[in-house]
Amino acid sequence: MIEIKNLRKIFPTQNGPVVALDGINLRIEAGEIYGIIGLSGAGKSTLIRCINMLEKPTEGQVIVDGQNFTSLNARQLREARRQIGMIFQHFNLLSSRTVFANVAFPLEIAGLPRQLIREKVSEMLELVGLSDKAHAYPSQLSGGQKQRVGIARALANDPKVLLCDEATSALDPRTTRSILHLLRDINEKLNLTIVLITHEMQVIKEICDKVAVIEDGKIVEEGPVIDIFTRPRSATTRKFINSIINTEIPEPIRTRFKNRTANGTAGKLIRISFIGETAKEPVISSMVQQCQVRANVLYGNIDHIKDTIFGTLTLELQGKDSEVEEALRFLKEKRLQLEVLSDV
Ligand SMILES: Nc1ncnc2c1ncn2[C@@H]1O[C@H](COP(=O)(O)OP(=O)(O)OP(=O)(O)O)[C@@H](O)[C@H]1O
């Protein structure tokens, strides 16, 4: 659906050129919810704005539904942009227009007859659950309601792609969840491709199918959300994950283990990651029974991404060397991800 090839964006400034995007390659399939996460200044806004050419790339290509946006002239681009809707952090509604008139705006520009506009706006307001607010003005709405208007306006032209520029950053956690829920619903109902940028891992975890982590204008990691959460490779990704799922052993437990290591009574330290079906099996109790080891749980957590359960468990295994070795073999056979840790 969207292919980004070797995208570079350089801003000339008084202090010399700023490389905002440095060779981005991405492929986003139709119907996917694709998240791009990065710290402030990483290049997220520039990247999402290059997708609909609000920002013109310095080099590279953006191909949407087979059409190379980077080679279009102004008129062709205006036409092609109808395939792409966009919503913003600060909603960007027209304050002098009612909710109805805001959603009608892109349809008026497209030159649709009045009756058709009325029907389409009503349909969109129903989709976002705001039919009763058609005659209200933006100043009379909550943040969540304003973003719903933004979504209705962005979808009025039946785009194939919706770009979300930090769409929930100005909202409280509960409203954020309801907007994300709405986006997921719309994605399923309309098979709409959604690309969102965010600095919050919770947003990625809540609705995205795939994620790309961007740092200094480059993609440092990319893939299905469940893979990135369970096998992060870059330090930046790990920090983002730790901001919502803490895998670090708490200090008091760490100190006790270090004391036991010092006096030679500590066992073998391991971390197990569970994904999917294995998370439901009583693996630890089976291991204890079969291998005769003692398993001291130091730290653990369990979470889910959509319907996939995943978690980590840090254990100290105590017993004879041969029993501990057998326990490790047992765990490996269970197709768990197993790490033997040298330190807490
Ligand atoms: N118009 C511009 N002129 C010059 N430099 C720019 C311009 N827009 C962005 N930049 C620079 O490009 C880099 C990437 O900026 P961008 O806004 O894309 O980052 P971001 O990840 O969206 O950050 P934030 O989360 O803070 O919005 C930054 O170094 C920024 O200063």
Domain ranges of the chain: 2-243, 251-340
CA nearest 5: which of 71, 54, 87?
71
Q: What is the DSSP letter of 168?
A: T
CATH architecture of 2-243: 3-Layer(aba) Sandwich (3.40)
At CA 187, angle to CA 179 and CA 196, rounded to 5? Answer: 60
The per-residue pLDDT for 313 is 87
Could you tell me if 202 and 40 are in contact, meaning their C-beta atoms sit under 8 angstroms apart?
no
- Collect the ranges in the chain with pLDDT lower than 70: 247, 277-280, 343-344
Residue among 11, 88, 219, 240 to mutate when testing ligand 1 (max atoms within 8 A of CB): 11
Q: What is the pLDDT of residue 245?
A: 80
Whether residue 44 has its Cβ less than 6 Å from ligand 1: yes
- Residue 49 · residue 56 · CB < 8 Å: no
Query: What is the pLDDT at residue 343?
Result: 67
Pocket probe mutation, ligand 1, options 7, 18, 51, max atoms within 8 Å of Cβ: 18
Where in 94-226 does DSSP place strands (E)? 161-165, 193-198, 210-215, 218-224
Per-residue pLDDT, 278: 62
pLDDT value of position 258 = 85
The ipTM (two decimal places) reads 0.97
CATH number listed for the domain at residues 251-340: 3.30.70.260
pLDDT of 277 reads 66
> Which pLDDT score, from 0 to 100, does residue 344 have?
65
Q: Are 220 and 213 in contact (CB under 8 A)?
A: yes
Nearest CA to ligand 1 atom 4: 11
Residues 304, 321 contacting (CB under 8 angstroms): no
Cα Rg of the chain, angstroms: 25
User: How many whole angstroms separate alpha carbon 148 and alpha carbon 103?
Assistant: 10
